[in-house]
Chains A and B, each alone.
Chain A
Amino acid sequence: MRALCGARVLSLGVLHMAYVLNRLLSVILTLFLITLVTFAVTNILPGDVAMMIMGTQSNPEALAGLRQSLGLNDPLLVQYGHWVGGMVTGDWGTSLIFKKPIIELLGQKALASAIIVIMSMTIALALAVPLGVWAAVHRDKWQDTVSSSSALMGVSLPDFFWGILMILVFARWLGWFPSSGFVDPSVDFWATLRHAFLPSFALGLGLMAHLTRMTRSTMTGILSQEFIRVARAKGLAERTVIWRYALANAIGPVITIAGLQIGYLFGSIIVMESLFGYTGMGWLTYQALLNRDLPLIQYTVVFIAAVVMLTNLAVDLLYVVIDPRIRLG
């Protein structure tokens, strides 16, 4: 019997491993396709980085010299080979507009974004789950109305509105948090958190709305199921029934939705970054595009794509851990 169990665990492990490898392979294949599309698209954009560096000081002679020195005159195939080769070997080159190693730039900005993505997700979950549960438990009562209305407001009002409100209340009037900027955590971690709080809170409110609705609807479904009635009939405390039985079963889809948002947030928080002068991945991608800094565009796009795909994969795997009934394949 024990041997049989062991074999089952082993076969499950092999199944998981095969699944993970399969998914990783598809991630690599997709990334390769993304490099092709990105390279093609970036090369047909009008204007080039030499023009952006020189601005209105550019003239044909100086532009030609600068293009040569930046390697923009190499054949496209050579440029593509150079890029993909560099990506694999870790030699990511230098941003043409900022003159900094791309790997260093991406590291700094990805860290900045990761901080507000994680903080906003934490804030969102911390608010959304209790609010969603509260609404589901008091379904169709005033608590439900309050919860649904606040969720609706969160969904309907754009993030930047919350951002402006936060700045006005917490920075301008109360003076509790700085209104803009980013501080490197290695310099002053406390200052990093203080600077990241308002943009995270503003983003978190928007996210919270989605997650509250999700929690409410899954909780409502679970609460009407047989096993909850059985648990209640057994005389378990209502608190235990709701938080240990119902929520444990309802949290899966909420985690999935939250996880999917992480990858998406990484590249899409540009408005919030701009509003709070908080320069992360969204800002970097925008600057790269604006300045036609081709290597930087290519690396930021591929990096964000990789983050989105890998977080999706991680969420799928996490799902199995949370709910063992899920089978991969």
Chain B
Amino acid sequence: MKRRDFLRNTTAVLGSGVFMGASLPSALFAQETPATGGTLIWGHSETTQNLDMHQTGTASSGRVLQNIHSSIVTVDKDLNVIPGLCESFEVAPDGLTYTFKLRAGVKFHNGATMTAADVKYSFERCKDPATGAVNFEVFNNVAAVETPDDLTVVIKMSAVNAPFLSRLAENGAGVVMPVDSGPTQGTNPMGAGPFKFVSYEVGTVVKMARFDDYWEGPSYLDAVEAREITEPTTRLTGLRTGELHMINDIPLDRVGELQADAGLQVKTWFPLNFDFINMNHTFEPFKDKRVRVAFDMIIDKEALMEGALWGQGATTASPSFPTSAAYNQGLKPRAQDIEGAKAMLAEAGYPEGSLNIVFKATTNYPYHIETAQILVEWFKMAGVNLTIEQLTWADWLSQCWVDKDYQMTMMNFFTLWESDFLYFSVWNSTGAFNYRAINDPIIDDLTAKARITVDDAERAKIYQAVQQQIWDEAHDIVLWFRNGTIGAQPAVMGLDTVVHPNGSNLNFHKVWLKA
């Protein structure tokens, strides 16, 4: 997708969540009456790991577990927080008390009826450091979880935490599990979602079956089989031979070929994630804003996106979810200006040929390597010698993420649609994901202020100011939103409902198979 198309589309769908592009077949049959039955065979691009919703941090496991669990609240396609397992929720004006009225008669897969005790158990389990929950910090300000009756949960906060409710809309924190089911969640995940867990054969297949008592009504499909096929070509072959009904993550260079095939459906949507180039702020040259801005000016983002993503994305200067109120529409990517960059580098004391930079890219994302390879040429033109070091995922996490032992790198993030999670974690000097060691008092003040600003419009403005500051200072170079892709047989219906508003999770509740 070209930038102008992206802008046109975002304007058109602003406020309407994740944008999806559909090829003809599903659009034609969209009005048909759904049929019940059948097993959907999904070629899943990644290996599912720990199945405990609290403990798992990987997108692959989250994608499967989305079908097994439900959260206390969720988001609509506009990313507004709406009731999930609760019927209603209320936030006290001081922001210190949250009251949830639970739906009556919600069943878990074990047949038990959900009560306030299950919510209390789940939240306290997530908060408990012994659980090893990835999202435990969501509950940092929670002083008490009270259950005045079976269908009421009252959460008392020790301090205001404005993003609390939004964070509960993610399964990792807001999931409700039956009391005492924790120890078996890793091997036998159980929740109140549309599908029951049946079995998992590691690295091969996760099987799920329809849960007839699902609180939003039973799904159309009898079952879903998530076959784990990490090799992209093998996945594509499975779709072409008809062994698979559906695959996610079509290799970027093959999307066009599939779109041209009238016998298959292709869905693309953005954003699956955003990518940005990182400069280590403890590395001497990058302490100087002029060097960072010059580096931004060396890169032609549009050409880079065409080259590395095969056009399967849209450039952006803001990492905010494109349809969220916080997205700063005024920001544009810096245009390429090699001569200007050269001059600015010289002014900063780095004349042509004097800068040697190592760019660490992880092989976990092959397009990161391709990005780096394209960058090398532009940087050479600007008199900067860029060398690429390829790292496995484990090495990247260890060297760049944890030890901050790098000069330049790049990364992508999924599902950080919640602004606090995004900006505080990634750009605040104390943020958990500030692996560039950015220390900007203006951003620190703004992100802290947003946390205690309960008014949504006001918060959105603060986050727009944060984006402006990131851009002005070129703390990082934000590149693009990458498209998500699904390929499917023509018989798979309801694909429009598959992608969760977070752009990563897939939900098969409304999917059906045409006979």
Contacts and interface: CB of A to CB of B under 8 A. Distances in A.
Interface in A275-289: 275-277, 279, 283-284, 287
Contacts of B346: none
Interface in B50-67: 50-52, 55-58
Interface in A284-317: 284, 287, 290-292
A290 to B, nearest CB: 7
A45 B393 CA distance: 13
A209 interface: no
A182 B395 CA distance: 31
Interface string A205-247: 0000000000000000000000000000000000000000000
Contact of B49 (A69, A97, A172, A292): A97
Nearest to A52: B394
Contact of B237 (A45, A54, A179, A292): A179
Interface stretch (A20-28, A98-106, A130-138, A251-259): A98-106
Contacts of B186: 99
Contact of B397 (A47, A61, A274): A47
Contacts of B243: 178-181
A119 interface: no
B229 interface: yes
A181 B241 contact: no
A281 to B, nearest CB: 11
Nearest to B397: A51
B393 A52 contact: yes
Interface residues of A, number: 49
Interface in A42-76: 45-48, 51-63, 65-66, 69-70
Interface stretch (B90-98, B130-138, B299-307, B491-499): B130-138
Contacts, number: 141
Listed residue (B57, B392, B413) with the most chain A CB atoms within 10 angstroms of its CB: B57
A279 B398 contact: no
A232 B153 CA distance: 95
A284 B203 CA distance: 8
B252 to A, nearest CB: 20
A262 to B, nearest CB: 22
Contacts of A48: 398
Contact of A99 (B50, B203, B395): B50
Contacts of B50: 53, 97-99
Contacts of A323: none
Interface in A171-187: 171-172, 175, 178-182, 184
Nearest to A163: B234
B203 A287 contact: yes
Contacts of B161: none
Contact of B58 (A55, A65, A66, A175): A55
Contacts of A292: 394
Given A56-B401, A56-B413, A274 B134 contact: no
A167 interface: yes
Interface in B393-423: 393-395, 397-399, 401-402, 411, 413
Contacts of A268: none
B351 interface: no
A100 B186 CA distance: 8
B500 interface: no
A129 to B, nearest CB: 32
B241 A58 contact: no
Contacts of A182: 201, 204
A56 B393 contact: no
Nearest to B405: A46
Given A179-B241, A184-B201, A63 B402 contact: yes
Given A62-B137, A108-B201, A46 B132 contact: no
B333 to A, nearest CB: 23
A171 B242 CA distance: 10
A171 B241 contact: yes
A57 B231 contact: no
B452 interface: no
A172 B142 CA distance: 56
B46 to A, nearest CB: 11
Interface in B229-256: 229-231, 234-235, 237-238, 240-243
Given A53-B49, A171-B237, A47 B394 contact: yes
A230 B129 CA distance: 83
Contact of A180 (B51, B55, B134, B229): B229
B319 to A, nearest CB: 14
B329 interface: no
Contacts of A51: 394, 397-398, 401-402
A58 B49 contact: no
B65 to A, nearest CB: 13
Interface string B374-403: 000000000000000000111101110110
14 contacts: A52-B397, A54-B57, A56-B57, A56-B411, A62-B136, A62-B432, A69-B132, A70-B132, A172-B237, A172-B241, A178-B241, A179-B241, A181-B229, A283-B203
Interface of B: 47, 49-52, 55-58, 129-130, 132, 134-137, 186-187, 201-205, 227-231, 234-235, 237-238, 240-243, 392-395, 397-399, 401-402, 411, 413, 432-433
Given A99-B49, A99-B187, 7 more contacts: A51-B401, A62-B134, A99-B50, A100-B202, A180-B234, A182-B204, A275-B231
For the complex of A and B, list the 6 residue pairs with the smallest distance between their C-beta atoms, beginning with the closest. Answer: A59-B432, A47-B398, A279-B203, A47-B394, A99-B186, A57-B57
